[in-house]
Amino acid sequence: MSLTEKATIARTTTNGHHQQHHRKMVISEEESPQQFALRIKNMVTNGLQALAISVAARHGVFEVMKSPKTSYEIAQEAGLKERYVRELLHSFVVSRIVEMNPDKNTYHIAPQHLPFLTGKHSLAGMTCLVPMLCEGYSQVNECFKIDGPSGVSYDQYPGFQEFMDHMSNMMHNQTLLSDFVPSVDGLEKRLESGISVLDIGCGRARAPLILAQRFPHSNFYGIDISVDAVATAQKEASRKGLKNTTFLVKDAASLPSEWSEKFDFVTAFDCIHDQAEPEAVLRESKRVLKSDGVFSMLELAVSSHPWKNIGNPRALDGYVISMFHCMPVSLYMEGKGLGTMWGKENILETLSQIGFRDVKVHKCKDMFNFHYVCRKEINEI
């Protein structure tokens, strides 16, 4: 019986007392009809502002605004049409992202705000999630219909790899070496000595590339089903002159038989929930681990129960991201459709069923994820 079926049975067989208790938990704080209406309006406004920010981020507008400039100067430096830039800037003036000097017709970003809009720690790129999800909007709408398709192909999201690469770059540059590696006991010393590492669903391989540079005595493999992503990873490794990386197009649910007990460490960064066959991927991950090898994965820091996620900022967008991307791409491949929000309780149960032991859960400094660390039993076959 699947975890989804178990959860459904549990909800439908809960006694009246518990049902009443759960209803109280999911009811939000009392608000007037006017307050509710304003909250909905603000959601729409924030979504529209996110679209505007995503355009600026994609075209490098914020990068040329480190000093006051006219709309013409900004457009020239960014290589864009002035009329469009001016409308974009005006949207930022009224949303208080950009400050305007009406006497000089110049625009600038407050210095204390610049780090959040430019550079490697910029949050502006996150807004590109909105148009990326909208690439599959019409197709997802059709999936809701009884006679509609089961899911949506990855091909319908041409901006997915670019967006994920931006997010991976931002996250791993900040936390991979300072937080992720130290959270696994003894890992740093083993990486320095030299071990074999496999990254499942590597995408453009930001994590393996960073690790390969830092730990030249270890060997890093990355696999993904995206031909373009793997090709990009290979080119970047070549550009950096890395000799300790291998990137391959492979299905994580069916790894090569000769890889049994090949790797000391297997990672999966926010990708298990996208898999068509997540249990098969986890079983394969365990199979290719050496005796007493370590499996480590990141998944969104949420509960499996929606009422427990009220007030959790990760959950506010998690269900929508799941609905518009993670769930339909899995279902398109006739998969399980776990979705982004499968959550801590279901994850721990699944890891136990697969046979992983000594499972530890760490809160990540990136504030988005839980880091699950577990081991394969010594001499397990």
For residue 341, is pLDDT > 80? yes
pLDDT at 232: 96
For residue 3, is pLDDT > 60? no
For residue 235, is pLDDT > 70? yes
Taken in order 278, 283, 287, 289, is the CA torsion positive or negative? positive
H or E stretch including 179? none
pLDDT at 15: 41
210 within 8 A of 237, measured Cβ to Cβ? no
State the Cα–Cα distance between residues 374 and 297, nearest whole angstrom: 9
Please, what are the domains in the chain?
A: 33-119 (1.10.10.10), 137-375 (3.40.50.150)
Percent of the chain with pLDDT over 90: 80
Segment 176-183 mean pLDDT: 94
> Taking the mean position of all CA atoms in its chain, how far away is CA 40?
26
For residue 160, is pLDDT > 50? yes
pLDDT at 378: 67
Give the phi and the psi of residue 320 in degrees, each rounded to 5: -70, -40
Percent of the chain with pLDDT over 70: 91
- The closest of 73, 122, 70 to 101, measured between CA atoms, is 70
User: Residue 126 carries which DSSP code?
Assistant: G
State the Cα–Cα distance between residues 123 and 323, nearest whole angstrom: 23
Q: What is the pLDDT of residues 56-84, one digit of tens each?
A: 999 999 999 999 999 999 999 999 999 99
pLDDT at 144: 96
For residue 119, is pLDDT > 50? yes
Q: What is the pLDDT of residues 17-59, one digit of tens each?
A: 444 444 444 445 688 999 999 999 999 999 999 999 999 999 9
User: Residue 273 carries which DSSP code?
Assistant: G
State the Cα–Cα distance between residues 87 and 93, nearest whole angstrom: 10
- The closest of 361, 314, 364, 359 to 178, measured between CA atoms, is 364
- The closest of 107, 102, 104 to 88, measured between CA atoms, is 107
Other Cβ atoms closer than 10 A to 109: 19
pLDDT at 77: 97
Segment 129-157 mean pLDDT: 94
pLDDT at 165: 85
Instruction: Provide long-range contacts, Cβ within 8 A and 24+ apart, for 281-286.
Output: 281/200, 281/252, 281/253, 282/350, 282/351, 282/354, 282/356, 283/354, 284/252, 284/253, 284/254, 284/255, 285/198, 285/200, 285/252, 286/354, 286/355, 286/356, 286/376
For residue 121, is pLDDT > 80? no
Kindly indicate the confidence band of residue 1, based on its pLDDT and cuts at 50, 70 and 90. very low
pLDDT at 104: 96
220 in helix, strand or coil?
A: strand
pLDDT at 293: 94
> Taking the mean position of all CA atoms in its chain, how far away is CA 114?
24
Judged by average pLDDT, the poorest of 99-103, 191-195, 364-368 is 364-368
pLDDT at 198: 98
Judged by average pLDDT, the poorest of 22-26, 46-50, 188-192, 326-330 is 22-26
pLDDT at 101: 96
pTM: 0.84
pLDDT at 166: 81
H or E stretch including 279? helix 278-287
Kindly indicate the confidence band of residue 367, based on its pLDDT and cuts at 50, 70 and 90. confident
State the Cα–Cα distance between residues 253 and 290, nearest whole angstrom: 18
For residue 11, is pLDDT > 50? no
Segment 91-117 mean pLDDT: 95
297 within 8 A of 372, measured Cβ to Cβ? yes
- The closest of 270, 284, 214 to 245, measured between CA atoms, is 214
Average pLDDT, the chain: 90
The structure tokens 């590492």 sit at 197
Strand partners, 196: 219
